[in-house]
Amino acid sequence: MKRALLIVATVLAVFGIFGCAQGGGEIKIGGVGPVTGEAATFGVSTKMGCQMAVDEWNAAGGLLGKQIKLIYADDKGEPAEGATVWNKLIQQDKVVAIVGTVMSKVSLAGAPISQAAGIPMISPTSTNTKVTEVGDYIFRACFIDPFQGTVGAKFAWDDLGARKAAAIFDVGNDYTKGLSEAFRDKFLALGGEMVAFEAHPTGATDFKAQLTKIVQAMPDVVYVSDYYNDVALIAKQIRELGYTGPLVGGDGWDSPELTAIGGAAVENGFFTNHYSKDDTRPVVKEFVAKFKAKFGSEPDALATLAYDAMYLMLTGIKQAGSTEGAKIKDALAGISLDVVSGRVQFDASRNPVKSAVIIEIKGGQQVYRTTVNP
């Protein structure tokens, strides 16, 4: 009897091992974003986009014969916390790839860890050029700051007729500083004049000193490269100082909290973004409908780029036919894929070449204005 039970147990064990080898278990993918902190709405949107993509792949049969498990970590918008969660995802959770994070300053903390460990990373929305310069395992799904700043400057010059511009930015944030510098350089190249270029400290809530200098310089347009919460405060304070002209900024404006905090002050505001829910392409309409059905709200650019980044990563793993980092990295480098925000092919620096849209704040709503191609 014991011998018979031993034989049965051995057979079951063999079939169990065989079953795992044929696709049992799961593939762990890390996700990172600021669910709490100064850019919390960005992290929440990013998590929803990642989860939606993973759910769709799992419903269609998973990846390499296995189900995908998303392990999502909160970086709190802080580089030190980002490094902590990156190490945990790689060393403890044993993820094979990471989609994250939102803020460039945090991606710059996580990227060296991914690079050293040979774990491919795609940032959905970190636009600072330095992010992918870390190494060949680091990719992004969004356009970069020089392009975004250039588009903003060209829009201010061509569409708004601005000839004198001012800028205000967070001096401690690579994203805001780089974006304002790109805007300034392009605006000057077009023949414009930068009448003020003001930095404020990270965490500031009173911008009156910088804004007073800007208003006194009488610009035609003010470039505000901060994230939505600071943008709203800056808009209110500059309106109080008497400035009624247009405000222009980057994708950091993209949050419902912008109008909730800023109210009428952010009217006559424009920002560059990665996609618009009002885009008439069928892939966009389908995505917006699916997202609303799943989460009860319309997707912002953060959710869209996270969804796209996850699709890119999962497609890379599928094409690699492996969860080995080096093979995934090589597959991603040669990928060409139509996603919601447009067709993505990576250049030699692992940055996608893609278009940008201009969004106007009008009547308390985000309104699609135009698309600018690279």
Reading the chain (374 residues) residue by residue, the pLDDT tens digits are 333 333 333 333 333 333 333 345 899 999 999 999 988 999 999 999 999 999 999 999 999 999 999 999 999 999 999 999 999 999 999 999 999 999 999 999 999 999 999 999 999 999 999 999 999 999 999 989 888 999 999 999 999 999 999 999 999 998 899 999 999 999 999 999 999 999 999 999 999 999 999 999 999 999 999 999 999 999 999 999 999 999 999 999 999 899 999 999 999 999 999 889 888 889 999 999 999 999 999 999 999 999 999 999 999 999 999 999 999 999 999 999 999 998 899 999 999 978 889 999 999 999 999 888 76
Contact status, residue 310 vs residue 29, Cβ threshold 8 Å: yes
Instruction: Report pLDDT digits (tens) over 131-182.
Output: 999 999 999 999 898 889 999 999 999 999 999 999 999 999 988 999 999 9
For residues 183 and 168, what is the distance between their CA atoms, to the nearest angstrom? 11
**DSSP class of 89:** I
Amino acid at 82: G
Return the residue matching tokens 């930068």: 194
Query: For the CA atoms of 173, 137, 145, 81, what is the dihedral angle to 10 degrees?
Result: -20
Alpha helical stretches, state H, 1-78: 2-21, 40-59
Collapsed DSSP state (helix, strand, coil) of residue 315: helix
Q: Tokens representing 328?
A: 């995934």
Three-class SS state of 242 = coil
Q: Do you find a cis peptide bond into 101, omega within 30 degrees of 0?
A: yes
pTM of this structure: 0.79
Q: Helix, strand, or coil here: 320?
A: helix
Please, what are the domains in the chain? 20-143+280-354 (3.40.50.2300), 146-273 (3.40.50.2300)
**CA 215 to CA 219: how far, in whole Å?**
7
Q: State how far the alpha carbon of 291 is from the alpha carbons of 13, 56, 98, 231, 299, in Å.
A: 42, 11, 22, 27, 6
